[in-house]
Amino acid sequence: MHRRTFLQLAGAGATSGFLTTPLLAQGASDRVLIVSEMNANSLDTHTVGANRAAYGLVWMTYDRLITFGTKTLANGVKSYDYTKLEPQLAESWEFAADNMSVTFKLRRDATFHDGTPVRAQDVKWSFDRFVKVGGFPQRQMEQGSLSSTDQFEVVDDHTFRVKFLRPDKLTMPSLAIVVPSVYNSELCKKNATASDPWALDWTKNNSAGSGAFKVESFKSSEQVVLARFDGWKGGKLPAIQRAMYRNVAAAGTRRALVEKRDADISPDLPPREIADIEASKKLKVQASPMANTLKYLALSTIIKPFDDVRVRQAIAYAIPYQKVLDSAVFGRAQPMFGAKSDTPSDASWPQPFPYSYDPDKAKALLKDAGLASGFETKLFFDAQVATTDEPAALVIQDELGKLGIKIGIEKLPDFPARRNQKAWPMAIDVFGAWFDDPDFFFRWIWHGQNAVWNLSSYKSAEMDKLLDAARQERDGAAYASLVKQFVKLAMTDVPVIPLFQPILEVVTQPDISGYTYMFHRQVDATTLVRG
């Protein structure tokens, strides 16, 4: 990317017109510009409504006690590996003899971006914070049996202990995700108020981390400029010195920026654009199936008429899945329809559901439910991912309209912030579980205990029992049996209709290497190398 372009885009008033600006011939080997449809709306994942782009931002600007190692996928793309845990703020750790606690020794030379030393007291404050703030952070960490402030103990300034509630295979990897980031507690306390004791309002727009990058400038949902923190001790210093993440809504503009070398990376171009770029062979395309991830249609089980399972099954038969695939992602995704049986043959996940486009079956089920003439409802989706979700919504609207189901479509710019309200009769959403276990995915979508992504408000005592048992099961055959049972129940009750398993395709300049697929699905500048 050209130096003048980067500086103009990073400027305070740079919002338009940059494509027509004359460019210098000289490149910049120490910086990257990433353009995407969605940019971070917060500098802190603990804040309400923080989006996926914020997860990636926090990953780079904050540290955790430990981090994930990497592996190489079959197609040669590097990926995170949640089974490999490596040091970050903690230089070592040791389990107790009874395996009911782990003690971390912190690096003595680690500092926050303002030069304040990182202490065990900061870790304790940060961990207490994710337990107390509620919402997504609290729910996420509960999945790893980290739910009580009593579990966290300061031994001394550089020694921190985590006590386990129970044996849980997800406790240690849960310490490496973005939620248990370590905050500069004294800085946060200075900006806290009586009504906001955890300084959430302040950290939404200000950073208090010790990560590989520090925030140079931030404009919510528009752009963020990061500068390398040369005092970082949590790993190998990034090769990139400055990284800019910018929101560019139009896919055509993002493509033009990359093709003209005015931008370095675009992680979310529409599949049709990707197909053309791939054919041209002028840019690199890094493709990775999104691990344990589904794009799906959620149907509320508490809003009529979707409280009737016959109606939900009718909708599942009324969707032209291949048409949705072709319209939304140009066919570049893994199909999740047309299974030959409603009894799973294995314990894999995601796996196709036993529904295919069959309007006659849909009509029969609607008639049986007393809705032969159809009904009116609404379908909601996230405006920040309209490139894929709007075409899918339009296909669904058109096909269900043939059955007398009149659907009003609403595109919400604040979709993530409103997800917890669970007030939508129909909604298109995506969920990717950070740990590649079927029961972990299911607990977020199908568990009745107020799971964050349970947009369907689905409650089933049988499902909860199966998922709770799978969480504790360590025998492989017994676990597989439980998986088959809860997948079959999801197929039958169908509060969620899988549309497809997305593929993450990232377009980069030929001289960019080091891209690594991350659980948060954002471009991690700490791994990138130019030239």
Tell me how many domains the chain contains: 3
Examine residue 103 and state whether it is found in any structural domain, yes or no: yes
pLDDT beyond 90 at 381? yes
Examine residue 71 and state whether it is found in any structural domain, yes or no: no
Examine residue 72 and state whether it is found in any structural domain, yes or no: no
Examine residue 204 and state whether it is found in any structural domain, yes or no: no
| 117 and 216 belong to one structural domain | no
| 362 and 464 belong to one structural domain | yes
Instruction: Look up the CATH number of the domain holding residue 53.
Output: 3.40.190.10
Where does the pLDDT of residue 321 fall: very low under 50, low under 70, confident under 90, or very high at 90 and above?
very high
How many CB atoms are closer than 10 A to CB 293?
22
- Write down the pLDDT at residue 38: 86
| 87 and 135 belong to one structural domain | yes
| 301 and 438 belong to one structural domain | yes
- The CA distance from 413 to 407, in Å, is 19
Contacts by residues 481-488 (CB-CB < 8 Å, ≥ 24 positions apart): 481/347, 482/439, 483/344, 483/347, 483/349, 483/438, 483/439, 484/343, 484/344, 484/346, 484/347, 486/438, 486/439, 486/442, 486/446, 487/344, 487/347, 487/349, 487/351, 487/438, 488/342, 488/343, 488/344
Arithmetic mean of pLDDT, 389-414: 97
Where does the pLDDT of residue 22 fall: very low under 50, low under 70, confident under 90, or very high at 90 and above?
very low
| 343 and 460 belong to one structural domain | yes
Arithmetic mean of pLDDT, 354-374: 98
Q: Decide: 39 and 219 in contact? Cβ < 8 Å.
A: no
| 272 and 301 belong to one structural domain | no
CA–chain centroid gap for 427, Å, is 17
Where does the pLDDT of residue 28 fall: very low under 50, low under 70, confident under 90, or very high at 90 and above?
low
Instruction: Look up the CATH number of the domain holding residue 134.
Output: 3.90.76.10
- Write down the pLDDT at residue 4: 47
Examine residue 115 and state whether it is found in any structural domain, yes or no: yes
| 141 and 173 belong to one structural domain | yes
* Domain boundary pick from 163, 198, 233: 198
- Write down the pLDDT at residue 434: 85
Arithmetic mean of pLDDT, 184-213: 98
| 426 and 383 belong to one structural domain | yes
* Domain boundary pick from 173, 198, 223: 198
Arithmetic mean of pLDDT, 73-94: 93
- The CA distance from 394 to 390, in Å, is 6
pLDDT beyond 90 at 510? yes
Examine residue 39 and state whether it is found in any structural domain, yes or no: yes
Arithmetic mean of pLDDT, 101-113: 98
421 sits in the region (left: phi over 0; alpha: psi -120 to 50; else beta) called alpha
Q: What average pLDDT is seen over the chain?
A: 92
**Helix/strand/coil for 446:** coil
- The single-letter code of the amino acid at 200 is L
| 222 and 141 belong to one structural domain | no
Structural tokens at position 446: 């199908």
- The single-letter code of the amino acid at 113 is H
Q: Please tell me the least confidently modeled range out of 21-35, 226-240, 351-365, 434-448.
A: 21-35
| 372 and 334 belong to one structural domain | yes
pLDDT beyond 80 at 1? no
- The CA distance from 80 to 244, in Å, is 22
Q: Is the dihedral of CA 461, 466, 469, 471 positive or negative?
A: negative
Examine residue 74 and state whether it is found in any structural domain, yes or no: no
Where does the pLDDT of residue 450 fall: very low under 50, low under 70, confident under 90, or very high at 90 and above?
low
| 324 and 453 belong to one structural domain | yes
Instruction: Look up the CATH number of the domain holding residue 383.
Output: 3.10.105.10
β-sheet bridge partners, residue 409: 379
pLDDT beyond 50 at 24? no
Domain that holds residue 222: 1-62+211-283+509-531
Arithmetic mean of pLDDT, 158-163: 98
- Write down the pLDDT at residue 25: 28
- Percent of all residues in the chain with a pLDDT value above 90, rounded to a whole number: 81
Arithmetic mean of pLDDT, 161-166: 96
Examine residue 332 and state whether it is found in any structural domain, yes or no: yes
Where does the pLDDT of residue 385 fall: very low under 50, low under 70, confident under 90, or very high at 90 and above?
confident
pLDDT digits (tens, 9 = 90+) for 234-281: 999 999 999 999 999 898 999 999 999 999 999 989 888 998 999 999
Q: Decide: 376 and 406 in contact? Cβ < 8 Å.
A: yes
Structural tokens at position 22: 């004359």
* Interacting residues of 263 by C-beta distance below 8 A, sequence separation 6+: 1, 33, 34, 35, 246, 254, 257
Of 4 and 262, which is predicted with more confidence? 262
| 35 and 121 belong to one structural domain | no
Of 215 and 140, which is predicted with more confidence? 215
